[in-house]
Copies of this chain bind each other. A is one copy, B any other.
Amino acid sequence: MTAYPETNRHQVTKKFRKLGDLTTDEAAAAVRQSPLVIIPVGAQEQHGGGMAMSTDTVRAVGVAERVAERLAGRAVLAPAVPYGVSPHHMSFAGTMTLSPATFMHVLRDLVASLHDHGWRQFLVITGHGGNNAALSVLAQEYVRSELTFAWTPVTSVVADLITGVSEVHGHAGEAETAQMLYLAPDLVQADRLEPGATTLDDLTTTARLSRQSRGPRLSVGFDAYHKRGVLGDPRRATAEDGRLLVETAADRIATFADELLSA
């Protein structure tokens, strides 16, 4: 593990506006100058024996700040929602979950508030895949409105860059750990990282069925995959890989946002 400074988490160049840091006067100006609102959403949930439970929030914020920076003032960054939809991790102590309904209510209220002030374009960046379904439902609701509501996961937009990993990988595995080693190494206890399920043969039939990329969908609790709730081998992660994933994800999402702003 390379000793990356903690500042990677918080100290990207401050070329973007954080709504929490602004005064109301500055916010009034931002409605016109920064027409895109980025809302990072994360989770508070188990990430194996060596990683902090705020992992998904940290990653969402880390990518969101970098996207905002790349947009050079055309976006404002709202305070992160540090809780997400995590029922599948509830058998692990410390996990906190919002119901999908609550999570959707929160985002509807936040979007409606800023809509009242004149914003029309929203991009939610989620560090947690468990939020995807609720975000998809929200996106459907906004189809009939005048708002643009886009959302994106972090890791899956750079899935093509994830190589040399175990057959089964994902939650708290190689890619997430790499991102944390780059963004917030103080939240990774390297000596406590241990592999979870790494091959399909490790899985029960039910668990294996839930991992099919094509075909019927089945959701299982993460204790059904492995007693540690980990998919993959986090020991293989490096901060350098994390940098690649985080910065490329930010590039790609910023490109998307740029097109959206120009549409």
B216 in contact with A143 (CB, 8 Å): no
Contact A219 B140, CB 8 Å, known A82-B79, A102-B109, A116-B90: yes
Minimum CB–CB distance for A185 against chain B, Å: 13
Residue A157 is within 8 A (CB to CB) of chain B in the complex: yes
Give the residue of B28, B93, B136, B156 whose beta carbon is less than 8 angstroms from that of A94. B28
Give the residue of B52, B139, B209 whose beta carbon is less than 8 angstroms from that of A263. B209
Contact A256 B93, CB 8 Å, known A20-B82, A137-B137, A192-B23: no
Residue A175 is within 8 A (CB to CB) of chain B in the complex: no
A44 in contact with B31 (CB, 8 Å): no
Minimum CB–CB distance for A75 against chain B, Å: 13
Contact A53 B27, CB 8 Å, known A102-B106, A219-B149, A256-B209: yes
Give the residue of B31, B214, B221 whose beta carbon is less than 8 angstroms from that of A156. B214
Q: Once the chains are docked, how many angstroms separate the CA of A256 from the CA of B209?
A: 7
Chain B residues with Cβ below 8 Å from A144 are 87, 90, 221
Residue A78 is within 8 A (CB to CB) of chain B in the complex: yes
Give the residue of B24, B95, B262 whose beta carbon is less than 8 angstroms from that of A113. B95
A220 in contact with B150 (CB, 8 Å): no
> Which A positions have Cβ atoms within 8 angstroms of B?
19-28, 30-31, 44, 46-54, 57, 78-83, 85, 87-88, 90, 92-102, 105-106, 108-110, 113-114, 116-118, 123, 130, 132-137, 139-144, 148-152, 156-157, 159-160, 187, 189, 192, 204-206, 209, 212, 214-221, 229, 252-253, 256-257, 259-260, 262-263
What are 6 contact pairs spanning A and B, CB under 8 A? A21-B54, A24-B46, A27-B93, A27-B94, A31-B93, A79-B82
8 cross-chain pairs, A with B, having the tightest CB-CB distances, nearest first: A27-B94, A20-B54, A133-B136, A152-B216, A24-B46, A28-B93, A79-B82, A96-B113
